Amino acid sequence: MLAFILRRILQSIAVLVAVGLVSFSLFRYVGDPINAMVGQDTTMEEREVLREKLGLNDSAPIQFLRFIGNAARGNFGLSYRTSEPVGRLILERVPATLELSFCAAVFVLFVGVPMGVYTGLYPKHWSSRLLQAVSLIGISLPTFLIGILLILVFAVMLHWLPSFGRGETVQVGWWTTNFLTWSGLKALILPAITLGLFQLTLIMRLVRSEMLEVMRADYIKFARARGLTNRAINFGHALKNTLVPVITVAGLQLGSLIAFAVVTETVFAWPGVGQLFIQSVQFSDIPVMAAYLLLIGLFFVLINLIVDLLYFAVDPRLRSQGGGARVAGH
Amino acid sequence: MAAASGLSGWLHRMTDSDVWWSFKSSPMTVAAAVATVLIIAVAFLSPLLAPHTPFDPVTLNLSDGLKPPVLVSPDGEWAFPLGTDDQGRDILSSIMYGTRLSLVVSLAAVAVAMVIGISLGLISGYFGGTIDAVIMRVADVQLTFPAILVALLIDGVVRGLISVKRHDEIAIFVVVGAIGLSFWVSYARTVRGSVMVERNKEYVQAARVIGLSPLLIMVRHVLPNVTGPVLVIATLNLGLAIITEATLSFLGVGLPSTEPSLGTLIRLGNEVLQSGDWWITVFPGVTLAVLVLAVNLLGDWLRDALNPKLR
Report whether pLDDT(A326) > 60: no
Model pLDDT, residue B105: 93
Asked if B146's CB is within 8 angstroms of A256's CB, the reply is yes
Q: Which is the CATH superfamily of the domain at A88-273? A: MetI-like (1.10.3720.10)
Asked if A15's CB is within 8 angstroms of B141's CB, the reply is yes
ipTM of the complex: 0.78
In the beta sheet, which residues pair with residue A175? Answer: A172
In A, which residues are within 8 Å of B140 by CB distance?
A: 15
Of the ranges A155-159, A188-192, A247-251, B162-166, which one carries the lowest mean pLDDT score?
B162-166
Report whether pLDDT(A325) > 50: no
Asked if A137's CB is within 8 angstroms of B141's CB, the reply is no
Model pLDDT, residue B107: 93
Low-confidence ranges of chain B (pLDDT < 70): 1-5, 55-66, 70-74, 76, 78-79, 163-167, 307-311
Model pLDDT, residue B309: 57
In A, which residues are within 8 Å of B186 by CB distance?
A: none
Cβ within 8 Å of B, A 29-88:
30-31
* Average pLDDT of the residues in A202-223: 83
Q: Where are the domains of chain A?
A: 1-81+283-330, 88-273
* Average pLDDT of the residues in A5-10: 83
Using DSSP's 3-state secondary structure scheme, residue B84 falls into strand
Cβ within 8 Å of B, A 156-195:
156-157, 163
pTM, two decimal places: 0.82
B39 contacts chain A (CB < 8 A): no
Model pLDDT, residue A39: 65
Q: In whole numbers, what is the pLDDT of chain A averaged over residues?
A: 80
Using DSSP's 3-state secondary structure scheme, residue B53 falls into coil
Q: Where are the domains of chain B?
A: 27-55+75-306
The verdict on domain B27-55+75-306 having CATH code 1.10.3720.10 is: yes
A259 contacts chain B (CB < 8 A): yes
Model pLDDT, residue B65: 66
In B, which residues are within 8 Å of A301 by CB distance?
A: 144
A305 contacts chain B (CB < 8 A): no
Query: Min CA distance, A136 vs chain B (Å)?
Result: 8
Model pLDDT, residue B111: 94
Model pLDDT, residue B110: 94
Asked if B137's CB is within 8 angstroms of A14's CB, the reply is yes
**pLDDT: which is higher, A83 or A160:** A160
* Average pLDDT of the residues in A166-184: 77
Model pLDDT, residue A328: 37
Tell me the per-residue pLDDT of B193-235, one tens digit each, with 9 for 90 and over: 888 888 788 888 888 888 888 888 888 888 887 788 888 888 8
A7 vs B8: CA distance, rounded Å: 58
How many whole angstroms from its chain centre is CA A323? Answer: 28
Q: Which of B142, B144, B296 best tests the A interface by mutation, with the highest count of A CBs <10 A?
A: B144
Query: Min CA distance, B161 vs chain A (Å)?
Result: 6
Model pLDDT, residue A60: 77
Tell me the per-residue pLDDT of A12-54, one tens digit each, with 9 for 90 and over: 888 888 888 888 888 777 766 666 666 666 777 777 777 777 7
